[in-house]
Structure 1
Amino acid sequence: MGRAELGQLIDRGALDASGGSQGRLSLAVPAAWARDGAGIEISVPARICCARCDGGGCDSCDRSGAHRAPAESAARTLRLSLPADLTGCVTVRLVRPFGEHAPLEQLLVELRADTAASPGVLRVPPPPSSATARSRAARGPLLGAPLSAPAVLATLAAIAAVVGLLLSR
């Protein structure tokens, strides 16, 4: 069985001391989404406020007050897991959120509990629990679900064997 990478250890002090570009995005999320174990999908705007100067203009953002995100909307779409105890405001730091070659080094996503989600934020249902997946596997494939090639070949071989027995009588 292969191993899945769950996370990566990062030196928080090194991130804080980094002189690279940092953007800030502040979003409202219904607290009920977090309690349900859901995640969110964020359509990041094409321009992100500079976290270093709060939009005032600095050397990090070339005095513009903002950083550019990738031009394609699909490349600006991010998924996050919500903390289960989202009651106030939580900041999630994403390192290289748009890939290694994108200019934005860090994105600080501030999540605050509210009654409605910010524009561009969608709820992503939680993945099925492992217990649900095991019970579904124990019941066998769902009706109407596509069968794998070995399953189809095994079924055809069984049918051919039954037809062969009936014809040999």
Structure 2
Amino acid sequence: MATVIGPGSEGSALVEGLAEAGYSTTVWGRGLAGGTARGRSGARTAGSLEAAVLASPLVVTCMATLKDTFRLLETVAPALAGRALVALGAGSSLDVGRLALLVICHGGRFLHGGIEGFFRCAGDRTVFDEYSGMLRLFGGGAVHLGNGHDLVVLRDADSRGRAIASRTRFVV
């Protein structure tokens, strides 16, 4: 059982993948995209953000930025108690740290993830171990990079640096 918050184009794909694998899924979104995801997958649409968070032990956020995710979840922070949050979205190490702190201080567990051909994440290893079957559905496999919440951000920065270096023949 999982909740997906932010079922735009990427989030809808996650919802469909979970539904196809037989997982009960709840969705919540501010726009019409939530209805679209529900219509194709059979997922339940929550009536409010708080209801969506409380609907499942695993909450996956799929928003453009981690700042957006933080602003949204801080309005329902007490509902995060006992939940595992997997946050997908762009941001800095500071953004990841702020979001992790919000979740952990309210009794939740936290993973930050990204999808590039496979699902990679960092943060609470127990979340990865408990939900790896679902997380693998997000990208053809799943890799836990370590317990540091910002390891996905740091890995992305390193990859971009190496790509630039290879194009410019600058040795790193």
TM-score tier after normalising by the smaller chain length: under 0.3
* Bigger proportion of residues as helix: 2
Q: TM-score, normalised by structure 2?
A: 0.21
Structure label with greater radius of gyration: 1
Q: TM-score, normalised by structure 1?
A: 0.21
